[in-house]
Amino acid sequence: MKTIKGPAIFLAQFMSDFAPFNNLKNICAWAASIGYKGVQIPSWDSRCIDLKKAAESKTYCDEIKGIVQSAGLEITELTSHLQGQLVASHAAYDSAFDVFAPAGLHNNPKARTEWATQQLIYAAKASENLGLTAHATFSGALLWHTMYPWPQRKARSVEEGFAELAKRWLPILNAFDQSGIDLCYEIHPGEDLHDGITFERFLNATNNHKRAHILYDPSHFVLQQLNYLDYIDIYHEHIKMFHVKDAEFNPSGRSGVYGGYQDWIDRPGRFRSLGDGQVNFKSIFSKLAQYDFPGWAVLEWECCLKHPEDGAREGAPFIKNHIIRVADKAFDDFAG
């Protein structure tokens, strides 16, 4: 059995233009000072990394690793959530998602998709150059606007949507395979891959591509009212990345899963800092240990109440205390 690595922290929500969050060196020193052992780096944030340069230069990647290692940390993975969103984006979301792309590509969906695809191909090579084994992204959403089928979906529209999704992702998945990197889709509301059934549809559409895997984040399953422990039993062979994020769901007579277009603080389902929500992390860490999860436990902080620095400071010991150091012998060996 394997002991989960950690604690680590996803840097995306903490980066800013103010020290110590304004560059990779400073934020790594801060993360190490509050107990983290690894950092997950958002590939779209130039304050952390130049993705194209990382794809083209092993020397540059060694410099990035050196900055992280000088703080006593490791790089857990790179992520490309914003670019992945643009690989497959329905026209209904064009104006909302333009901000994820360079200004010169705004109002040009075709060029934006081509840019996003190239970004993912860069991410594969950059991950290889950094000596990593997995990468996180979003699937994008060609079908999300049809999630609630009213009016009725056209016949075979779901099959056609997943065929198109696979068509866009297969060249990227092949690039990740060439680099020896698992591509982990964060299963997330708002994405075409948002639960188990949709992940299975995608696998089928990609002929069970061996690099198509899962970033497991239980908070998104709480908000969907999906059994996040059964999910591990079913899909553990595909779970290669883990975001440790808490959430709560408190429905009322006025609002439920859909949230009534309310702000996060007023929604029945909302993300919380670790320990403040309803997620059963003891059982999650037990199941991941049982199934030899090979990766890192990475804090993703998202909370509409608590200050991010407090959430980060509390998150490191929370994760550390939940990591199970797996046994190196059977409890009944003494009787042998």
Q: What is the pLDDT of residues 115-154, one digit of tens each?
A: 999 999 999 999 999 999 999 999 999 999 999 999 999 9
Residue 332 confidence (pLDDT) = 84
- Mean pLDDT by groups of 10 residues along the chain of 336 residues: 96 97 98 98 98 98 98 98 97 91 95 98 98 98 94 94 98 98 97 98 98 98 98 98 98 97 97 98 98 97 97 98 93 86
Q: In 3-state terms, what secondary structure has residue 324?
A: coil
- Closest-CA residue to 169 (of 200, 138, 144, 135): 138
Those residues whose C-beta lies under 8 Å from the C-beta of residue 330, and which sit 6 or more positions away, are: none
Question: What does the pLDDT look like over 156-203, one tens digit per residue?
Answer: 999 999 999 999 999 999 999 999 999 999 999 999 999 999 999 999
Calpha distance 33→71 (Å, rounded): 9
SS3 content of the chain, % helix, strand, coil (to 5): 45, 15, 40
Residue spans of alpha helices (H) in 104-217: 109-129, 157-179, 196-205
Model pLDDT, residue 330: 86
Q: Are 209 and 181 in contact (CB under 8 A)?
A: no
Element (H, E) at 52: helix 51-56
Whole-number Å distance between alpha carbons of 228 and 268: 18
Can you give the pLDDT at residue 95? 87
CA pair distance 43, 157, nearest whole angstrom:
33
| Side chain identity, residue 334 | F
Confidence at residue 333, expressed as pLDDT on a 0 to 100 scale: 87
The verdict on pTM exceeding 0.95 is yes
What the chain holds in terms of domains, given with CATH numbers, is: 5-335 (3.20.20.150)
